[in-house]
Structure 1
Amino acid sequence: MFMFFFLVVALAVVVAAVTLAVLGGGGRGPLPHVAPDLSGDHSLAPDRPVGREDVDALRFPLVLRGYRMADVDDALGRLGAELDERDSRIADLEAALAGARAGRGAGPDRGTEEEQR
């Protein structure tokens, strides 16, 4: 019985010591703030469209609880804006192509059989 009581007290002392060290007991203050890892270029190039290789090379700096939300939000916002721009450009080109096909009428190259119906 004495051994069990001793182990419970020793466990409580260890838990208390770790808690005090983490929360800043002993006059040293809490654990020091660590600056985020900013090594390497983890952002997307602002001066050109984003390509597949840019997305494959994209790495975010790690912080205590994962990734910095601002970095991830910036990258996702940029990718979303570029996808919207590309979708708009594709829609414009498809509309221009449809207009050109309609303007040609019965020319020699009228597209596939499904487009002629």
Structure 2
Amino acid sequence: MTTVLIYLVVMVLVAAVVFLIASVVFGRGEELPALPPGASPTRLPSSGITADDLRGVRFQLVVRGYKMSEVDWVLRRVAGELDDLRAEVADLRERLEPADESS
């Protein structure tokens, strides 16, 4: 029984060493190096967000999904743009209504 246990421990150790060597030689399999801690791949223009900008948004992955602070930041930015656009549309409609009533 002791011999089997020794063989099992040796096999686990050999597998661990082979895994570590393969990890060092082949890396993580990514095309780009991993981002430094705290860095974000999330990018949006300072104003005038377009649908293509939103389609191109990428969030940093963390253990349980996407990084919540990045998702919240994007949602705040898009909400601000939407509010600005709706205010501009309302302003333009107000300008057009008096002109429509006089004709």
Same fold, TM-score > 0.5, yes or no? yes
Hey, what's the Cα distance between the residues in 2 that align with 1:36 and 1:67? 13
SS at match of 2:77: helix
| RMSD over equivalenced CA pairs, Å | 1.9
**Structure 2 residue runs without a partner (length 5+):** 1-35
* Larger Rg over CA atoms: 1
User: Helix, strand or coil: the match of 1:44?
Assistant: coil
Could you state the TM-score of these two structures normalised by the residue count of structure 1?
A: 0.52
Equivalent residue of 1:49, what SS? coil
Identify the residue that residue 70 of structure 1 maps to in structure 2: 69
C-alpha deviation, 1:43, in angstroms: 1.9
Indicate the SS of the match to 2:49. Answer: coil
Q: Deviations over 1:33-52 (max 9, x none)?
A: x94674xx422111x31001
1:1-117, aligned counterparts within 5 Å? 35=37, 38=40, 41-46=41-46, 48-103=47-102, 105=103
Relative contact order, CA 8 A, sep 6+: which one is greater?
A: 2
Q: Secondary structure at the match of 2:43?
A: coil
Q: Is the 8 A contact 1:44 1:58 kept in 2?
A: yes
**Runs of at least 4 residues off by over 3 Å:** 34-38
Q: Deviations over 1:12-62 (max 9, x none)?
A: xxxxxxxxxxxxxxxxxxxxxx94674xx422111x310010001011011
Percent of aligned pairs with the same amino acid: 32
TM-score by length of 2: 0.59
Aligned length: 68
